[in-house]
Amino acid sequence: MERKEYDVIIVGTGAAGLFTAISFPVNYKILMITKDTIENSDSYLAQGGISTLLRADDYNAYYEDTMKAGHFENRPESVEKMIRSSNGIIQQLIKVGVDFDKNEAGQLDYTREGGHSTYRILHHQDVTGKEIVSKLLTKVRTCKNITILENTTMVDIVAKDNECQGIVMKDFNGISACYGKSIILATGGIGGVFKNSTNFPHISGDSFAIALRHKIKLENIDYIQIHPTVLYSKKKGRRFLISESVRGEGAVLLNEDKNRFVDELQPRDVVTEAISKEMKKYNTDHVYLCLKNISKKEILSHFPNIYKRCLEEGYDATKDLIPVTPAQHYLMGGIKVNTIGETSMSHLFAVGETACNGVHGANRLASNSLLESLVFGQNTAQNICKNQVDTKIVVSEVQIKDYNDIEKWQQENVKILLNEIKRRDVKFYDKWCNA
Ligand SMILES: Cc1cc2nc3c(=O)[nH]c(=O)nc-3n(C[C@H](O)[C@H](O)[C@H](O)COP(=O)(O)OP(=O)(O)OC[C@H]3O[C@@H](n4cnc5c(N)ncnc54)[C@H](O)[C@@H]3O)c2cc1C
């Protein structure tokens, strides 16, 4: 059988994977794979928006907000790179057709979220991720050098002597291997291993289990973000997020006695903790979000998706209190990388939520994730282009028989990951995420 070889293999078609792919010159032969359909990425679900440097004189405040939310555990060089690159990234998004909302004067409309000291978040209604990902996809589809395979799962990497040479993947036809000069992991976070998560179930941290198997360095794999406000529901399945920008526009949190109990615009971990205390105090499994400070016009124009979903669950957000509760949302840790996406294994890179470049520290500031995925995705691509010039593809033939019991292999992956997370003292893990 003909051996499949590429310049670059990108695993994952979320914002990080797509933006990384279009940041390569068109003479790079690129393969992208995704475990599900292309649209089913957490990037597509992003609601609130993408943060950006408002004006040059906002730099110190934005830097401080990011560091403060992250408990000053952030890597300063990553924070600086992200913020300084933000305006350029927004311009590139606008160039590929992303339509950010504008105010009545026709200027970009900035919103605010918890932990931000000012309004600096661009959005497209409350479906910013869908807008960004669909425009990036349109662009990718025009690139003849990029092949995308859907419903194709990376089950392992091909590696020898700490050098990555390719991936082992599973599709409807079975198991096969393909090889590349550079392999980029853009598989998102770990929400799929939790019962209560805003993430798609198939985004289940496969890269981390594979990294553990190959002794690739991870960092802060226990830094799991619990979002304070998902729509409370007794139904099983993915939790529906009520974006922080709703609080940014004036919504308040109320306890069982209908009293406020926290400054709603504190960083996520602080608000989650406060909600948790109230729920304990009143022995309830939710608190309430009250949108009465937001005009009906603003709710319908800025938050149509959230409004619709609440209605489906029986709540009219323009009148009713919305029951909300915390759930797993994001992973600040991941595969340890530097600002050019390099992992501890040569020829293997990681971008987006899979990577830990330290930009979020111990707790991510709202709307910094899409931005980070794009900034460091592009930076990784540009650096691979500089360094890959003389790289040859080295091939260690994969023994497909090793993966014959693929179900077992994948179940073991989940176990390996959970053991690693649970080995550490994960705050809220059992209480909020696996209830
Ligand atoms: C409901 C929700 C709302 C959010 N809102 C915001 C927001 O407003 N602003 C913001 O900045 N961030 C937001 N986030 C976070 C943000 O969307 C994500 O952190 C970010 O988009 C991650 O992008 P990514 O490309 O790294 O991963 P993802 O978008 O999660 O994509 C991962 C990709 O990897 C693929 N994949 C996974 N495992 C495998 C495998 N083994 N083999 C092959 N493919 C695989 C998946 O199919 C998918 O294509 C939100 C997240 C959620 C869940």
Average pLDDT on 127-150 reads 97
Out of 326, 341, 374, a domain closes at 326
Residue 322: the pLDDT is 98
**pLDDT grade, residue 433 (50/70/90)?**
low
Given this model, what pLDDT does residue 17 score?
98
- 101 and 198, same domain (yes or no): yes
* Residue 207 covered by a domain: yes
Q: Which atom of ligand 1 sits closest to the CA of residue 12?
A: 34
Average pLDDT over residues 261-283: 93
Q: What is the pLDDT of residue 432?
A: 56
Looking at the structure, do residues 146 and 38 belong to the same domain, yes or no?
Answer: yes
Compute the Cα dihedral for 189, 194, 199, 203 and give only its sign: positive
**Does residue 390 lie within any of the structural domains?**
yes
User: Are 244 and 384 within one domain?
Assistant: no
Per the CB < 8 A criterion, the answer to whether 9 and 187 are in contact is no
Residues with a catalytic annotation lie at 268
Give residue-wise pLDDT tens across range 288-346: 999 999 999 999 999 999 999 999 999 999 999 999 999 999 999 999 999 999 999 99
Domain end position, chosen among 271, 302, 326: 326
Query: Could you tell me the CATH number of the domain that includes residue 159?
Result: 3.50.50.60
Number of structural domains (the chain) is: 2
**pLDDT single digits (tens) 211-240:** 999 999 999 998 999 999 999 998 888 999
Does 431 fall in a domain?
no
pLDDT digit string (tens) for 380-424? Answer: 999 999 987 777 887 887 777 778 788 888 889 888 988 888 776
Q: Which residues line ligand 1 (CB under 6 A)?
A: 11-17, 33-36, 41-43, 45-50, 128-129, 153-154, 186-188, 198-199, 202-203, 206, 241, 330, 352-354, 367-370, 373
Looking at the structure, do residues 271 and 298 belong to the same domain, yes or no?
yes
Identify whether residues 215 and 262 lie together within a single domain.
no
Cα 269 to averaged position of ligand 1 atoms, centre (Å): 20
Residues 71 and 146 both lie in one domain: yes
**Residue 14 C-alpha to ligand 1 middle, in angstroms?**
5
321 within a domain of the structure (yes/no): yes
- For residue 178, report the distance from its CA to the centre of ligand 1, in Å: 24
Best residue among 11, 42, 194, 433 to mutate for probing ligand 1's pocket (most ligand atoms within 8 Å of CB) is 42
Claim to verify: residue 118 and residue 259 sit in the same structural domain: no
Residue span of the structural domain in which 195 resides: 5-224+329-423
For 16-37, the pLDDT digits (tens) are 999 999 999 999 999 999 999 9
Kindly report the CATH number assigned to the domain that includes residue 246.
3.90.700.10
Q: Among 143, 120, 124, which residue's Cα sits nearest to residue 133?
A: 124
The answer to whether residue 429 sits within a structural domain is no
Looking from the CA of residue 203, the nearest atom of ligand 1 is 37
Statement to judge: residues 370 and 346 lie in one domain: yes
Last residue of a domain, one of 270, 292, 326: 326
432: in domain: no
The tokens describing 325, both together, are 């509760």
Tell me: do 214 and 294 sit in the same domain: no
pLDDT for 435: 44
Average pLDDT of the chain is 93
Examine residue 183 and state whether it is found in any structural domain, yes or no.
yes
Structure confidence at residue 86 as a pLDDT band (50, 70, 90): very high
The answer to the question of residue 117 being in a domain is: yes
Residues 274 and 419 in one domain: no
Q: Are residues 289 and 356 in the same domain?
A: no
Are 320 and 341 found together in one domain? no
